[in-house]
Amino acid sequence: MVFDIERVREVAGRVAVSCGLELVDVELLGGGKARRLRIVIDKPAAAAGAPAGVTHEDCANLSREVGTILDVEDTVPGGSYVLEVSSPGLDRKLTRPQDYERFVGSRVKLTTRAPVNGDRFFEGRLASFDLGRLRLELSSGKKGKKGRSGNAAPQSLEIELGNVEKANLVPEI
């Protein structure tokens, strides 16, 4: 039997929804006896009275339910593995279009596949996301190539989602 990550996503997603959570990511890391199946979950905007954010109890419950289903169905063939369930953290990855829609107004750091205006590394506020294009209001003290002045007024930059190699939220404390 071959490992089917889409099957794991389907199982984890179904269980997450039944627990009032959303599935953010699933990945299988390592090999041999050191395999780790990582499931990242989040809690959608909290309902009235419900605590915000993923709790330890949310992770434990999802781990128990998903682990049981995966083991009974032998969805992760090839021997033992460690199941890790966690929240996305303050510097969460942005991978899906709905992540960008949800975090409009937040600070992000991203790397593009191909240069945009001669650079691939950007940090700024996610001003909008529409039709697969995101608009960043770049930080005035933008990190980037040496010799650039940090005194310029904030710039706006549009980037195609398909050109984003990696993007993370930047925690604002």
The average confidence (pLDDT) of the chain is 86
List pLDDT tens digits, range 3-14: 789 999 999 999
pLDDT digits (tens, 9 = 90+) for 34-90: 899 999 999 876 544 555 689 999 999 999 999 999 999 888 887 789 999 999 988
| Cβ atoms < 10 Å from Cβ of 56 | 9
Specify the amino acid at residue 167: A
Domain 5-86 has CATH 3.30.300.70: yes
Class of 97-169 in CATH? mainly beta
Task: Please state the length of the chain.
Answer: 173
- Residue 124 contacts residue 138 (beta carbons within 8 Å): yes
Domain residue ranges of the chain, discontinuous segments joined by +: 5-86, 97-169
